[in-house]
Chain A
Amino acid sequence: MDRIEIEERPDWRDDAERCGFLFHTIDGEPYWDETRAYRFSLAEIEDNLEDPTQELLSLCYRAVERIVNDGALMERMAIPEEFHDAVRQSWTRKDYDLYGRFDLAYDGRSPAKLLEFNADTPTSLFESSVFQWRWLEGMKELGRLPDEADQFNSIHEKLVEALPVIAGPNRRMHFAGVFDSGEDRATVEYIADCAVQAGIEATLIDIAHIGVDAEGWFTDSSDYRIETLFKLYPLEDMVREEFGRYLIETPTRIVEPLWKLVLSNKGLLPVLWEMFPGHPNLLPAFFEGSPASDMLGDSYVRKPLLSREGANVAIVDPALPGGGIAVDGAYGEEGYIRQQVQMLPRFGDDWTVIGSWVIAGRPAGIGIREDRSPITRNTSRFVPHFILD
Chain B
Amino acid sequence: MKRSVAVSLVIMGAAALAACEDQTVDTAIYGSVDECIADRVYTPEKCETDFKAALAAHEKVAPAFATREDCEAEFGPDRCRQATEQHASGGFPFLPLLAGYMIGRTLGGGPVVDPQPLYRRAGSDAYVNARGTEVARSTGPVKVSTRSGVAKTPPATTRTIARGGFGSRSIGISA
Contact = CB atoms under 8 A, between A and B. Distances in A.
Interface string A274-311: 00000000000000000000000000000000001100
Contact of B163 (A170, A210, A241): A210
Interface stretch (B13-21, B65-73, B75-83): B13-21
B157 A169 contact: no
Nearest to B11: A193
A213 B12 contact: no
A233 B170 CA distance: 10
A contact face: mostly helix, strand, loop, or mixed = mixed
A212 B163 CA distance: 6
A19 B17 contact: yes
Given A169-B111, A224-B155, A233-B173, A157 B165 contact: no
A222 B169 contact: no
B90 interface: yes
Interface in B128-175: 146-147, 152-153, 155-175
A308 B10 contact: no
B87 to A, nearest CB: 13
Contacts of A136: 3
Contacts of A237: 168-169
B7 A134 contact: yes
B126 interface: no
Contacts of B146: 199
A41 to B, nearest CB: 12
A308 B173 contact: yes
8 contacts: A19-B9, A19-B12, A156-B4, A196-B10, A207-B166, A211-B161, A223-B159, A241-B168
Contacts of B99: none
B36 interface: no
A308 B7 CA distance: 28
A212 B175 contact: no
B contact face: mostly helix, strand, loop, or mixed = loop
Contacts of A202: 11
Contact of B12 (A20, A183, A234, A365): A20
A214 B166 contact: no
Contacts of B160: 211-213, 219, 223
Nearest to B9: A193
B170 A180 contact: yes
B114 to A, nearest CB: 8
Contact of A224 (B2, B9, B158, B167): B158
B8 interface: yes
Highest count of chain B CB atoms <10 Å: which of A180, A183, A199, A227: A199
Highest count of chain A CB atoms <10 Å: which of B9, B146, B161: B9
Given A212-B162, A223-B159, A308-B173, A156 B7 contact: yes
A351 to B, nearest CB: 20
Interface of B: 1-5, 7-15, 17, 20, 88-90, 110-112, 146-147, 152-153, 155-175
Considering the complex of A and B, which 5 residue pairs feature the smallest CB-CB distances, nearest first? A181-B172, A243-B165, A208-B167, A20-B13, A211-B160
B172 A178 contact: yes
Contacts of B164: 208-211, 242
Contacts of A225: 88, 155-158
A214 B161 CA distance: 6
A212 B161 contact: yes
A244 B152 CA distance: 31
A17 B4 contact: no
A218 to B, nearest CB: 9
Contacts of A207: 166-167
B102 to A, nearest CB: 16
Nearest to A124: B174
Interface string A132-165: 0110100000000000001111111100000010
A215 B147 CA distance: 30
A123 B156 CA distance: 33
A24 interface: no
Contacts of B11: 189, 192-193, 196, 202
Contact of B3 (A151, A214, A222): A151
B161 A213 contact: yes
Nearest to B8: A197
Given A20-B13, A178-B171, A153 B3 contact: yes
Contacts of A150: 1-3
A246 B146 CA distance: 34
B159 A378 contact: no
Contacts of A309: 173-174
A241 B163 CA distance: 12
Contacts of A45: 2
Nearest to B175: A181
A314 to B, nearest CB: 21
B167 A223 contact: no
Given A156-B4, A156-B7, A224-B155, A212 B165 contact: yes
